[in-house]
Structure 1
Amino acid sequence: QLGGWDLTKAVKISPTQYPQWSASLELPSDLNVEWKCVKRNETNPTANVEWQSGANNQFNSNDTQTTNGSF
């Protein structure tokens, strides 16, 4: 389990070319992952949180090396 939906354990993404952001992770094989983009305040991660709308993004680490979400 990556962050278990705990924002203090969220994976921080970095701007590559605005408005695109990215992060790289090493994951175990055959891992089912669900995730969402979240906007939050760095100094107070539970204040003014905005979650990506709609269904969770999903992938299996065996099936893809790249996944995308949109906000």
Structure 2
Amino acid sequence: MWVPSTGTTTPPPTTGTTAVSFNVTYSGTTTGQDVYVLGSTAQLGAWNTANAIKLSGATYPVWKGTINLTSGTSVQYKYIRKDAAGNVLYEGGTNRSFTPSGTTQTRTETWQ
């Protein structure tokens, strides 16, 4: 059991994983193109587009996927579009960020 030392309000470190469902609406793809999520942690490809996580287009134009991320560890990420030739298009805007918590979490977003 965690007991804070006198005078501190720092919570205990969070351990475990959070199953994060990514749902992004994007209708800018054509045949042979897919949408991926890419980010700052190893689970999100560590900003290496070759390791990006492919999302399912089964509910097009909403692309979906669930990834286990380390709970309590802040992540930054972006959505990208890739084609079979390896061409990559990053969504615009700044990096998205959040800190996974709990057992499940959902990110419902629109391509920037």
1:9 aligns with 2:51: yes
Q: Which structure: greater strand fraction? A: 2
TM-score, normalization: structure 2?
A: 0.53
TM-score, normalization: structure 1?
A: 0.80
Q: 1:38 to 1:8 in 2, by over 3 A?
A: same
Tell me if the contact between 1:13 and 1:22 (Cα under 8 Å) persists in the aligned partners. yes
SS of equivalent to 2:110:
coil
The one of the two structures with greater contact order (alpha-carbon pairs below 8 A, sep at least 6) is: 2
Q: For the residues of structure 2 that align with 1:39 and 1:23, how far apart are their CA atoms?
A: 14
Structure 1 residues not aligned, in runs of 5+: none
| 1:68 aligned partner | 108
**Structure 1 runs (4+) greater than 6 angstroms displaced:** none
SS of equivalent to 2:108:
coil
Offset of 1:16 from its aligned partner?
3.8
Provide, for residues 17-70 of structure 1, a one-character-per-residue CA deviation record: whole Å limited to 9, x for no partner: 21101110111210111111101113x33x2x1101001111101277011342
SS of equivalent to 1:4:
coil
Q: For the residues of structure 1 that align with 2:109 and 2:52, how far apart are their CA atoms?
A: 15
Seq. identity, %: 28
